[in-house]
Amino acid sequence: MSANLEKAFHNEPAAKIKSKKESSIYRFFANLFRSWTGTLGFIIILGLLFISIFGPWITPYDPLYADFSKKLLPPMTDGHLLGTDQLGRDILSRIIVGARVSVIIGVLTVVIAGIFGTVVGIISGYFRGWVDVVLMRIVDVQLSFPFILLVLVINAIIGAGLRNIIISLAIGGWVIFARMIRSEVLALREKEFITACVATGVSRFEILFRHILPNLFTPLIILASLQIGTFIIAEASVSFLGFGVQPPEPAWGNMLNEGKDYIFSSWWLITFPGIAIIIAALGVNLFGDWLRDTLDPELKGE
């Protein structure tokens, strides 16, 4: 090596070698705890996950057990923290068990809609041409329908139930993913590092999977976390309208539906599931907002 190169070499500051994984997890939490909204969202999500996994074991009562002698008990009476409903079932237990429905639907719909939307978005954005035109017109047509209306129509066709509501919500929700991923891919494919890949001789397939896909991860995570909240609310709306999870199986949406007849006499029937929905959606959104704020600057190159 020549003198010049040697000099350049020794100018480098000595670097500490840190374990990559350790430092990135540490940075994640250090960053998270700096924002109280993000922390709050994170805690709510953790709580939600805990309840939906261990729900059946931590409920104070059987959520399906009806005791007519104890119907419509107000909160804090007779050992029922949040009261009982019109059939004498414990509301707290039903909310805890209902959390699982919301989480399953929120996560599964996002996964299904996300995968489908991402595939469509990538095909559209990367290959362009007439495929892009056709796919995006389909997206346009679908976006011109109100989301809830579309979901209800699909549900009316394929029927109610947990599986069908996931299908209908995914069909209603994939377009947002397709649109966003397409625009992201369009921006990425013009980036100079992609041109550099072409110049190196990387195949189109490899450019897509090794270079474009990893760069889509961040926007996907952000959109997915924000969409979970939307889907939880949508599920509640659809269940409220009677298309979702069928009684007596508890879900926050159908608890609202059953409770609405008693809104003037027994407010707790509708209030507590409503609060549960708000907290879940809020938590997911707070966390999603924080994620976007933290990850987006990194997205822009640095």
Partner 1 sequence: MKQKVLLSVNNLKKYYDIPQGLFKEKIIVKAVDDISFTITKGETFALVGESGCGKSTTGRTILKLTEPTGGRIIFDGNDIAALPYKKMRTLRNRMQMVFQDPYASLNPKKTVREILTEPLRVHKKFDHDTRLKKVKSMLEIVGLSEYHLDRYPHEFSGGQRQRIGIARAVILQPDFIIADEPVSALDVSVQSQVINLMLELQKEFELTYLFISHDLSVIQHMTDRVAVMYLGKIVEIAKTEDLFTNPKHPYTKALLSAVPITHPKEKKERIILKGDVPSPANPPSGCTFHPRCPAALDICKTQAPKTSEHGNSHSVSCHLYNKIEEEIPHAISHS
Query: Is residue 296 close enough to count as binding partner 1 by CB under 8 A?
Result: no
Identify which range of 70-78, 130-138, 267-275, 294-302 contacts partner 1 by CB under 8 A: 294-302
Query: Is residue 15 close enough to count as binding partner 1 by CB under 8 A?
Result: yes
CB count within 10 Å of CB 217 equals: 11
DSSP 274-298: HHHHHHHHHHHHHHHHHHHHHHHHH
Query: Is residue 2 close enough to count as binding partner 1 by CB under 8 A?
Result: yes
Minimum distance of partner 1 from residue 200's CB (angstroms): 5
Name which position in 129, 214, 264, 265 contacts partner 1 (CB under 8 A).
214
Query: Is residue 24 close enough to count as binding partner 1 by CB under 8 A?
Result: no
Site string for partner 1, 158-197 (x = CB under 8 A): ---------------------------------xxx-xxx
Query: Binders of partner 1: how many residues, by CB under 8 A?
Result: 31
Name which position in 198, 263, 275, 279 contacts partner 1 (CB under 8 A).
198
Spatial neighbors of 99 by CB under 8 A, at least 6 apart, are 48, 51, 52, 55, 252, 276, 280
Query: Is residue 5 close enough to count as binding partner 1 by CB under 8 A?
Result: yes
Name which position in 199, 205, 264, 265 contacts partner 1 (CB under 8 A).
199
Query: Is residue 206 close enough to count as binding partner 1 by CB under 8 A?
Result: yes
What is the Cα–Cα distance from 105 to 108, expressed in whole angstroms?
5
Q: Identify the three-state secondary structure at position 256.
A: helix
In the block, tokens 């609405």 appear at 260
Query: Is residue 22 close enough to count as binding partner 1 by CB under 8 A?
Result: no
Minimum distance of partner 1 from residue 302's CB (angstroms): 5
Phi and psi at 13, nearest 5°, equal -70, 140
Closest to 229 measured CA to CA, from 139, 109, 137: 109
Closest CB to partner 1 among residues 51, 291: 291
For the purposes of burial, counting CB atoms within 10 Å of the CB of 293, is it exposed (0-12), middle (13-18) or buried (19 or more)? middle
Closest CB to partner 1 among residues 78, 302: 302
Spatial neighbors of 37 by CB under 8 A, at least 6 apart, are 286, 289, 290
Query: Is residue 21 close enough to count as binding partner 1 by CB under 8 A?
Result: no
User: 66's torsion region: left (phi>0), alpha (psi -120 to 50) or beta?
Assistant: beta
Closest CB to partner 1 among residues 14, 30: 14
Minimum distance of partner 1 from residue 6's CB (angstroms): 8
